Chain A
Amino acid sequence: MTKIAFTLNGQPAEAGVGGLERLSTTLRRDLGCTDVKIGCDAGDCGACTVLIDGEPVCACITPTAQAEGRRVETLTGLHTGDPVMTRLTRAFERHGAAQCGICTPGMLVSAAALLRAVPAPEEAQVRDALGGVLCRCTGYRKIIDAVLDWQGRDAPEEGRVGGRVRRVDGARKVEGREVFGDDAAPEDAAVLRVIRSPHHHARFRFGDLDAYAKAEGIDLILTAADIPGENAFGIVPGFIDQPVYADGTARFRGEAVAAVVGNAALIAALDLSRFPVTWEEKAEALTPDAARLTGDLHGGRAGNVMCRGFVRKGDAGAALARADVVAEGTCETGFIEHAYIEPEAGFARWVDGRVELTGGTQAPQMNREALMAILGLPESAIRILPTAVGGGFGSKLDISWQPHVALAAMGLKRPVRVLYSRADSMSSTTKRHPARMTVRAGATKDGKLCGFSFEGVFNTGAYASWGPTVANRVPVHAGGPYAHDDYIAKSEAVHTHCVPAGAFRGFGVPQAAIAQEAVFDDLALALGMDRLEFRLLNALDNGIPTTTGQVFDGAVGIKPCLEALLPAWHEGLAKARDFNAKGGVLKKGVGVACGWYGCGNTSLPNPSTIRAGITADGRIVLHQGAMDIGQGANTVIAQIFAEALGVPLEKVELVGPDTDVTPDAGKTSASRQTFVSGNAARLAGLQLRSELLRLTNCQDGIIGFDDGLTVAAEGVTHRVPLEPTEGYALEAVDSYDPPTLPLDENGQGVPYAVYGYTAQMAEVTVDTDLGTVTVDRIHAAHDVGRAINPLLVEGQIHGGVAQGLGLALMEEYIPGRTDNLHDYLIPTIGDVPPITSHIVEVTDPHGPYGAKGLGEHVLIPTAPAILSAIRHASGARISRVPATPDRVLAAIRAAKEG
């Protein structure tokens, strides 16, 4: 070990160098710079960006030794020491440029380097400067806006419902103070690493583990034999089928078989290739077709079919037979990786006979239930303390890191931490289901839909996860937000030797929309109708039964969404026509697609509980259990609560989703938090308000703060008499469960209390010599019922559009081949075009202040709209996404020949 000296954030610093330490590790582990984030350890994400002598570099691939004698700057130092950064962070907050915040330090540091050299940059310069930092949440547009407007001023903000307010947890994200999964562990924590199967399917046997542990100085090795409870977890009752550690047979590449635990330096230097395990490879089935022909992965699931979903209304066969035009299309999608920039991370400790887990999750209470079974502990013996989450999008609903460190902390009675490597994360956590879907749809001469059938086979991977949910949700949604009299939709989820597919923004609906919308384009084409007019003509509406026979009487917003696009649509068509008339290899096109999404669980109870209290000295505390995974629940739920209670937002103090003190607000999934938890927060707020009014004998009044709480009514200000007590002087706990009804054997019923609606339009340019596609602009119309916070709504739209663009053009996860962020491509700042958001507000009677959910709708129409535009521009009908240049070029050729 030699010592090197350098300047860190203006102060002298020293570090020991013994070899090829990564500067990121040195900064985080030895020098306390947890504002330097780790997303990949490979230069691919830029989260670890720091400045060395003023130039941005990835700390994760810079040898610590190279810092010697130089100036190293990180976000925290820049934020306090550099006036440019101070203003830039405010611009980030103002524009909502940080969602989860895990990419934010890298973005800010890279932008500061640019702004020091070029105080008034062009947008292209901003893109070049930030091109090395990936963001999975924001869609980058707000980041570009913030950098361009870094010298701008804050405008006054209104924190009530409908107010464009910055997020309540934004400051700590932009100042590098946010605590994520890997930022919380105590210094003395032992480190855990998971041993994973290198084969898709294999039998395995361990050698002498004790001898190995002893020889290497490892404190603990965990395998299936060390699980005190059930070696199984999952989501849906009846489908709890995934082991924490595989027991003799590994069913997918990346499956955990064991874990090693020891002190940090030892584990870092450990060569896991010598771990004593022998593998016997078995035949693998990576596709549903192959899986039907091989042995069953799970007993009782014949032909590897895990489950099926079904919805039938009217007689699709007869309608298709009498339709004037019928179109049919088959389309395939691959695994899609969530690619949040924060890999799974957290730590566990053993405290007074209880396990405490601190780290990232989307579903603290569900995690606790799963851990009860695995650890064999009662609920009271498990505490989950969620940290901020650096992106989730569905995958962090399932447990991943939690049981490993919990078991280790129980065994060693000391804190144990884990940080998944990018390869761990990508190879072992859930993905979007690959699908092969066939749609047939008919229409009459006058353009009315006449029969629709959907069949989809979904590769659900080795274990169930959320597969049953996908199988149920897809048949309900597969027809899109249209008026279908005669409808049939079937889905089938099939096990393979692949990583489990689970929940990902949209639960299978985005895949189905790709197949359905393409066939609707075929119909419009066959009828000689405008594609948007065709959709308007067939749009679902109030009073028209949905695919499940549910009738709404006022909350169906798809028509207003389509209408919002009309001006841009006609302009886009004209622009494309004029451009293409000039000839040349570049061709422009426009495309349109719709989406809908039921908020909350499908026909299942789905309650949220919110607790709030007022202390004797008048502090208002909201126990906000709805996990904020970057989408803004902390802000939105607080806004709703503040509105109901009648106090300014800044008076509301938040207590996070610690399972010891905050009740279950349900999981952050299915676009349910604004709608379900928002309702619970509204009820809790109203309850406290009526208490305050009762205590002051007022009918109504204005709540004020004057050395305690007051209520002003009819010109008189009443002091609220609050007894000094230990806890809260006043407390409210309220729940909301959306009204749904079970689906019958034909899938008819009331699966959701509320749907959200969306229509999007894409403008693209296709290079017909290379097959490359440039998306020029997306117009996104979203019926959100009521925009509780338009700034955050736009943030969700942008982020969803970016993910939809990735799905359309570049993303495909191939097990064992793309376990990193340079082979698995997500959009960079240069790939996401300007996005015009149209917020449509068709209020919902069930929603809090009329609000519907939004989180998933945002990406449903993006990919089909882009594919529609590619076809309009070039004739290429894409039947396999992503539409990579080679596929687009082949489809252009096929269209010319056909």
Chain B
Amino acid sequence: MSLYRPQALDRALAFLGEGPAAVVAGGTDVFPALGLRPAPARVLDLSAVEGLRGIARAGDGWRIGAATTWTDVVRADLPPLFDALKQAARQVGSVQIQNTGTVAGNICNASPAADGVPVLIAMEAEVELASHHGTRRMPLCDFITGPRKTDLREGEIVTALHLPHRDGARSAFGKLGSRTYLVISIVSAAVILWTEGRIVSGARVAVGAASPVPMRLPDVEAALVGRALSDLPGAVLANHLAALTPIDDVRATAAYRREAALVMIRRALEGLGQ
């Protein structure tokens, strides 16, 4: 058994190149999934790798380092485009979880109910991946391929997320759960809007925990464009959410999730319209 915790990215990638290893960042998903089973033989710990943490402007967009924690997100000085991400960050588990859990960990864990994912999908994030062979980029919505499934290849890690900048954009996130803290979403919704005057000129809307992978809802987005900020909630109709495929589980029924998703979207819009 060995754990490797390098500071240089190329050494991390070299370690992965030498043979299969489990990757750990904050560990908030890795440990609960492991339970009492023995740990994997080779572990790569990304928490000390330089350059993987923080949010900054990069080119004409934004770069979120893979190992950026939710607390980092909450504390960063960011424009309203990031309000939704901050609201999601504040609702991930608890302060303890936010202090160690990372943005890339949330994505790679690929839970249908991950709170960061609908926001980042709405933000049209691209995932930057690196291995000792080189790097590649792909849209987040293609990177997550199903519940607990991603397109991460052997020897590869996520190094960053890239987001387009949207001038003057505003955003909101809402999460519905059966208790206040430490709760897995029954359903969640993220909305990003940008406007010309008081008229919506662009909208991105995504819903979590109501499909195998959190997904954008183009019908909802289309219904919002051209509307005045003050009358957005009424523009969204149940049939705009037809693409969702929620399931029944211990947290709620599928039918409820569908309805609640609509309410959550409307409420996010209500907040943004004020």
| Option from A17, A269, A271, A810 in Cβ contact (under 8 Å) with B3 | A17
Closest to B176 in A: A770
- Is B179 within 8 A of A44, CB to CB? no
- Is B32 within 8 A of A61, CB to CB? yes
- In the complex, chain A residues 454-487 whose Cβ is within 8 Å of any chain B Cβ: none
Q: From B27, B41, B182, B184, name the one whose CB has the most chain A CB atoms within 10 angstroms.
A: B182
| Option from A129, A271, A771, A772 in Cβ contact (under 8 Å) with B38 | A271
- Is B180 within 8 A of A132, CB to CB? no
Query: Closest CB of chain B to A489's CB: distance in Å?
Result: 32
Partner-binding segment picked from A220-228, A600-608, A821-829: A821-829
**Known contacts A61-B27, A825-B183; is-contact A132 B95 (Cβ 8 Å):** yes
Partner-binding segment picked from B77-85, B141-149, B235-243, B255-263: B255-263
Complex CA gap A669/B118 in Å reads 48
Say yes or no for A423: interface residue by CB 8 A criterion. Answer: yes
- Is A20 within 8 A of B3, CB to CB? yes
Partner-binding segment picked from A62-70, A89-97, A159-167, A862-870: A62-70
- Is B35 within 8 A of A132, CB to CB? no
| Option from A132, A273, A423, A771 in Cβ contact (under 8 Å) with B181 | A132
Q: From A49, A131, A134, name the one whose CB has the most chain B CB atoms within 10 angstroms.
A: A131
Question: Given the complex, which residues of B lie within 8 Å of A110, measured CB to CB?
Answer: 95-96
**Known contacts A132-B93, A830-B181, A831-B179; is-contact A421 B35 (Cβ 8 Å):** yes
Closest to A42 in B: B32
Q: From B96, B252, B255, name the one whose CB has the most chain A CB atoms within 10 angstroms.
A: B96
Say yes or no for A60: interface residue by CB 8 A criterion. Answer: yes
| Option from B3, B95, B252 in Cβ contact (under 8 Å) with A65 | B3
Partner-binding segment picked from A51-59, A340-348, A526-534, A572-580: A51-59
| Option from B96, B180, B184 in Cβ contact (under 8 Å) with A57 | B96
Say yes or no for A22: interface residue by CB 8 A criterion. Answer: yes
Query: Closest CB of chain A to B107's CB: distance in Å?
Result: 18
Question: Given the complex, which residues of B lie within 8 Å of A886, measured CB to CB?
Answer: 186, 252-253, 255-256
Say yes or no for B5: interface residue by CB 8 A criterion. Answer: yes
- Is A43 within 8 A of B38, CB to CB? no
The digit string for A804-828, where 1 denotes a CB below 8 A from any CB of B, is 0000011010100110101101011
Say yes or no for A664: interface residue by CB 8 A criterion. Answer: no
Question: Given the complex, which residues of B lie within 8 Å of A814, measured CB to CB?
Answer: 250
- Is A56 within 8 A of B96, CB to CB? yes
- In the complex, chain A residues 242-278 whose Cβ is within 8 Å of any chain B Cβ: 268-273
- Is A770 within 8 A of B263, CB to CB? yes
- Is A20 within 8 A of B37, CB to CB? no
| Option from B3, B45, B179 in Cβ contact (under 8 Å) with A830 | B179
- Is A58 within 8 A of B96, CB to CB? yes
Say yes or no for A188: interface residue by CB 8 A criterion. Answer: no
Classify chain B's interface size.
Answer: 35 or more
Question: Given the complex, which residues of A lie within 8 Å of B176, measured CB to CB?
Answer: 770, 772, 885
Complex CA gap A43/B186 in Å reads 19
Query: Closest CB of chain B to A863's CB: distance in Å?
Result: 15
- Is B182 within 8 A of A131, CB to CB? yes
Question: Given the complex, which residues of B lie within 8 Å of A687, measured CB to CB?
Answer: none
Question: Given the complex, which residues of A lie within 8 Å of B179, measured CB to CB?
Answer: 810, 825, 827-828, 830-831
- In the complex, chain B residues 22-51 whose Cβ is within 8 Å of any chain A Cβ: 22, 24, 26-28, 30-32, 34-41, 43, 45, 47-48
| Option from A20, A44, A770, A831 in Cβ contact (under 8 Å) with B30 | A20
Query: Closest CB of chain B to A160's CB: distance in Å?
Result: 40
Say yes or no for B178: interface residue by CB 8 A criterion. Answer: yes
**Known contacts A61-B28, A885-B178; is-contact A131 B94 (Cβ 8 Å):** yes
- Is A66 within 8 A of B45, CB to CB? yes
- Is A822 within 8 A of B184, CB to CB? yes
Q: From A46, A421, A814, A829, name the one whose CB has the most chain B CB atoms within 10 angstroms.
A: A46
Closest to B24 in A: A63
Complex CA gap A19/B35 in Å reads 15
| Option from B28, B41, B181, B253 in Cβ contact (under 8 Å) with A828 | B181
- Is A421 within 8 A of B36, CB to CB? yes
Question: Given the complex, which residues of B lie within 8 Å of A769, measured CB to CB?
Answer: 263
- In the complex, chain A residues 178-218 whose Cβ is within 8 Å of any chain B Cβ: 193
Query: Closest CB of chain B to A43's CB: distance in Å?
Result: 6
The digit string for A783-820, where 1 denotes a CB below 8 A from any CB of B, is 00000000000000000000000000110101001101
- Is A19 within 8 A of B43, CB to CB? yes
Say yes or no for B16: interface residue by CB 8 A criterion. Answer: no
- Is B24 within 8 A of A830, CB to CB? no
**Known contacts A19-B43, A831-B180; is-contact A43 B35 (Cβ 8 Å):** no
**Known contacts A110-B95, A810-B178; is-contact A43 B3 (Cβ 8 Å):** no
| Chain A contacts to B: CB under 8 angstroms | 17-20, 22, 41-44, 46, 49, 52, 55-58, 60-63, 65-66, 68, 110, 127-129, 131-134, 193, 268-273, 421, 423, 769-772, 809-810, 812, 814, 817-818, 820, 822-823, 825, 827-831, 882, 884-886, 889-890
What are the 6 tightest A-B residue pairs by CB atom distance, in nearest-first order? Answer: A132-B94, A830-B180, A131-B181, A886-B256, A19-B1, A20-B39
A-B contact list, 11 entries, CB within 8 Å: A18-B2, A18-B3, A19-B1, A20-B34, A43-B31, A66-B27, A131-B182, A132-B96, A825-B183, A830-B179, A885-B186
